Amino acid sequence: SVSDIGDMRYYTTSAAGRGSFYRVYGTDDFATLFAARNGEITGVDKDVLGISAGRVTVPAEVNGEKATAIGGRAFEGLSGLREVVVASGIAAIGEGAFERCGDLKAAALPEGLATIGDLAFDNTAIEELTVPSTVTRVGRLGNVPHLRRVVFLGAPPSDVSRLDLPAGCRVVVPPNRGW
């Protein structure tokens, strides 16, 4: 199907094992942005987004289908990604979803997010992470050497040491939310 949004035209197609691709094209060529299957964003076109990723908003809908999760390793190794904004409606971030996105410094996570998988932000440059109050599971963060502060808007995990935080990282918990 084809639809126009602003100055860009989007169309969708399918690929074996990856689900539907959400594509955008200009005057000369086609560029795949997101792939999704059963409500899970399963991948991105690193050649297109990596050129000028900068700030990327993970969509709440791909090909008319509600997106509910970012799959494991969906954005892995995407160079040039400096900031990611996760749309409302995404309930899970899979294992290693943003792993090795070495330029990634900021992630805006929505209320409604329930889980953050192991190593979701491993080997990134994130400096501060705000965990929405709706998150009930946070996996190991892994190697996030620039992380200086983690803010839990809800109750923190009972065993914060399991998060594998770097030395000097402060954990902030609102009053009456834990500890």
- pLDDT, tens digit, for every residue of 138-171? 999 999 999 999 999 998 988 888 999 999 999 9
Q: Which two tokens stand for residue 75?
A: 């954005």
The most confident of the ranges 13-17, 37-41, 127-131 is 127-131
**CA–CA dist 94, 115 (Å, integer):** 8
Specify the 3-state DSSP secondary structure of 104. coil
- pLDDT, tens digit, for every residue of 102-131? 999 999 999 999 999 999 999 999 999 999
Is the per-residue pLDDT at 21 higher than 80? no
pLDDT band at 177 (very low <50, low <70, confident <90, very high): low
**CA–CA dist 94, 13 (Å, integer):** 24
How many of the other CB atoms lie within 10 Å of CB of 36?
Answer: 27
The most confident of the ranges 11-25, 56-70, 71-85 is 71-85
The pLDDT of residue 25: 41
